[in-house]
Amino acid sequence: MQLKTNAKPQKLSKKLSRRSALQLGIGAIALAADAGAIAQTAQAKAFGRSAEQLAKDEEFWMQIARAYRLDGRYIVLNGGGNNPIPDSVVDALHRYDELSASQPRPHNYLFLNHIDEHRERLATLFNCGSDELAITRNTTEGLNIVGSGLDFKAGDEIIVSNFEEVYAKPVFEQVAARHGAIVKTIELPLEPTAEEVVARYRDAMTSNTRMLVASHVVDGWGFVLPVKELSELAHANGAQMLVDGALGFGQIPVDVQQIGCDYYATSLHKWLNAPLGTGALFVKRERIEALWPLYGVTTARTDIRKFERIGTRCGPTIAAIGQAIDFYQQIGPTRKAARVKYLSSLARDDLKGVSGVTFLTERDEAKRTGLARIAVTGYDGRSLTTALREEFGIYTFGNFPGEYDGVYISPNVFNSANDMLTFTAAVKQLAT
């Protein structure tokens, strides 16, 4: 296939359904039927209304929630991790698995053929060329491709912040241990302004700085870092920019041309609601040749697909990315971003001024997402997570030792306003 260098908007492809009908059995045709119905409902209700107006329409989002098979006994508010996935994705994955298991040699490889189609569609969402986007297994793999693939030498500096301790920093600590590079960690304040972030990275830079690393949306907090300004700072000083986009893409619209970064790693199984074990890595076209793949391959050094050559891959998992893209596009990136932001704001407003409760998130209202950290006096993150789950049936995530050890919430499109108020009522009860 000829990879495209300019991503252009395109209609949702019916290629998978046709191939399923002709080669894999007529039963696969209806896999995305629910998603299609949701799209029609969404378009009818959304017509002429802004994303912000639609974000408050509970009837609209109740229809969206019906596309998921959720356990009604629980409220899931840890959507920033391994998300529940829509029925259309579940059904596709199950059907493809059955077919692949029956005849692995033809079926698994037929499913894998869809990777280039998905690459083109994802490139449109990222606003990049399809020749700049690799389909990986997760954000961590993307970070490691960049860290292990560049020719760092002794004395080269990589700058990360204290918010990168768990995922990105270990990648470059290994680089430092192997090649003598230096990892410099800067301390960013809670709820940092864009100016504070840029200033602290700038102050840490020297003539030996080769890479700046920053999260787009900070895990466990929801702070949105100024990755565009950091990219400009890096390039003005002869360095490169790597963005950890695990909690960015799929939650908020992402435009890598506007950001200007050299690399953007993300997981599709998080906010895009694709099957587990799917991710994407953007590599700026002029950086591809110099970046080594993790494995020895015969693919040309200038070909983005060299990063995908990892041996046998699961065709059904790759193929079902298509249904996840369908669902995301049917909802609309700006509508989804507005909805999760609105849901989080309900919790923030209801908990404002409550004694013993601290609510932390992105300070800038214009950039704010759905992620936030909540700390309750008398509880650490683990005990608060357990109490919310066992006493109230609410799933969050918390294990953040430090001053504000608590839980972080990340509501998704399957959540309701009532879910958020049920959560805040539980927090208030625990705080008394």
* Alpha-carbon gap, residue 66 to 14, rounded angstroms: 23
Of the three residues 324, 359, 385, the one that is the final residue of a domain is 324
Element (H, E) at 395: strand 394-395
Is 92 part of a structural domain of the chain? no
- As for how many domains the chain has, the answer is 2
Q: Show the domain range for 418.
A: 334-431
Q: What is the tens place of the pLDDT at every residue in 96-144?
A: 999 888 888 888 888 888 999 999 999 999 999 999 999 999 999 999 9
How far apart (Å, rounded) are the C-alpha atoms in residues 76 and 377?
23
pLDDT in the model for residue 403: 81
Residue 178, judged by CB atoms within 10 A of its CB (0-12, 13-18, 19+), counts as: exposed
pLDDT for position 8: 39
What's residue 19's pLDDT?
A: 34
What residue spans of 158-255 are helical by DSSP H? 168-179, 194-204, 227-236
Q: pLDDT confidence of 36, banded at 50, 70, 90?
A: low
Tally of CA atoms within 13 A in the half-sphere of 182 that contains its CB: 13
- Which percentage of the chain shows pLDDT scores above 70? 90
pLDDT value, residue 88:
92
Does residue 234 fall inside a structural domain?
yes
Is there a domain that residue 110 lies in? no
In this structure, the answer to whether residues 376 and 275 fall within a common structural domain is no
Judge if 243 and 342 occupy the same domain. Answer: no
pLDDT score for 39: 58
Same domain, 380 and 427: yes
Return the DSSP state at 76.
E
Specify if 71 maps to a domain.
no
Please indicate whether residue 17 or residue 159 has the higher confidence score (pLDDT): 159
Spatial distance between the Cα atoms of 383 and 16, rounded to a whole number of angstroms = 46
- Which of 252, 215, 197 is closest to 367 using CA atoms? 252
The answer to whether residues 184 and 134 belong to one domain is yes
- Do 426 and 401 have their domain in common? yes
Q: In whole angstroms, give the CA distance from residue 45 to residue 40.
A: 9
> Model confidence over 383-402: pLDDT tens digits?
999 999 999 999 998 877 77
Q: How far is CA 77 from CA 8, 231, 375, in A?
A: 34, 32, 15
The pLDDT score that the predictor gives to residue 400 is 74
279 and 162 housed in the same domain:
yes
pLDDT confidence of 168, banded at 50, 70, 90? Answer: very high
**Residue 290 within a domain:** yes
Q: Which of 92-106, 198-212, 406-420 has the lowest mean pLDDT?
A: 92-106
Are 258 and 147 within one domain? yes
Written as one letter, the residue type at 417 is A
Residue 342 is encoded by which pair of tokens?
A: 């609105």
Q: What is the pLDDT of residue 15?
A: 36
Q: How confident is residue 79, by pLDDT bands cut at 50, 70 and 90?
A: confident
Q: CATH code at 424? A: 3.90.1150.10
Pairing assessment for the beta strands 157-161 and 209-215 based on DSSP bridges: parallel
Structure confidence at residue 43 as a pLDDT band (50, 70, 90): low
Q: Helix 333-351 vs helix 417-431: angle between axes, to the nearest 10 degrees?
A: 30
305 shares its domain with 185: yes
Q: Report pTM.
A: 0.90
Sign of the C-alpha dihedral computed for residues 163, 138, 212 and 262 taken in this order: negative
Same domain, residue pair 172 and 228 = yes
pLDDT of residue 213: 98
Q: What is the pLDDT of residue 150?
A: 97
Within a domain: 29: no
Same-domain pairing of 286 and 388? no
Do the bridges between strand 240-244 and strand 263-267 make them parallel or antiparallel, or are there none, so unpaired? parallel
> Does residue 43 form part of some domain?
no
